[in-house]
Amino acid sequence: MKLEDGEIYYINFKGNVGREINKVHLGVIYKLPSIKDIVLCIPLTSPKIKHFKTQQDFYDRNYTKVKHFSWQYLKQTDSIALLDQMKTLSINRLISHYEDQDKKRIKLDEKTQKLLKEKVLKYINLILYK
């Protein structure tokens, strides 16, 4: 399986418990150095009013106005990245690529990946050095 950092896949999250994302959802994947069958995954979900500070921020999709630091709005896919649920997963959980109507694989553009990576690093820093 040829994987590229920042690609979006349909992923089987079945078996997760509690408030963890479950069933099949989209997720952004990143390869781990020297590990071929495990990827880092950031689950995606549809944006909802609860993800933004105000109803107007939701309608404007203002990515700087998400309610919780562990969420990031991604304009490219109109999704919320759930940083608080990122995890490593077996590539066997990857069902298929997310594709546009022209059957082209969707991969986050460089600007979106940079924004997401910066937020992930800040979030991990916040967890480790509270």
DSSP 11: E
CATH number at residue 18: 3.10.129.130
Q: In this structure, are residues 9 and 96 in contact, taking their beta carbons and an 8 Å threshold?
A: yes
Q: What is the pLDDT of residue 12?
A: 93
Q: Are the CB atoms for 67 and 52 separated by under 8 Å?
A: yes
- 98 inside domain: yes
The total number of structural domains that make up the chain:
1
Residue 44 lies in a domain: yes
Query: Residue 94 has what pLDDT?
Result: 95
Specify whether the CB–CB gap between 79 and 45 falls below 8 A.
yes
Average pLDDT over residues 119-126: 91
Please check whether residue 25 lies inside any domain of the structure: yes
By the 8 A CB rule, do 86 and 42 touch? yes
The answer to whether residues 44 and 81 touch, using CB atoms and an 8 Å cutoff, is yes
At 89 the pLDDT is: 93
Does residue 1 lie within any of the structural domains? no
Instruction: Look over the chain and give the mean of its residue pLDDT values, rounded to a whole number.
Output: 90
CB count, 10 Å around CB of 31? 15
Task: Work out the end-to-end distance of the chain between its first and last CA atoms, rounded to an integer number of angstroms.
Answer: 38
Residue 46, pLDDT > 80, answer yes
Q: Is residue 77 situated within a structural domain? A: yes
Q: Mind listing the pLDDT tens digit for each residue in 7-25?
A: 999 999 888 777 878 889 9
Report the percentage of the chain scoring pLDDT > 90.
49
| pTM for this model (two decimals) | 0.87
Check pLDDT > 80 for residue 92.
yes
Residue 2 lies in a domain: no
- Residue 96 is assigned to a structural domain of this protein: yes
Structure token digits, residue 59: 């309608």
Residues of the domain holding 95: 7-128
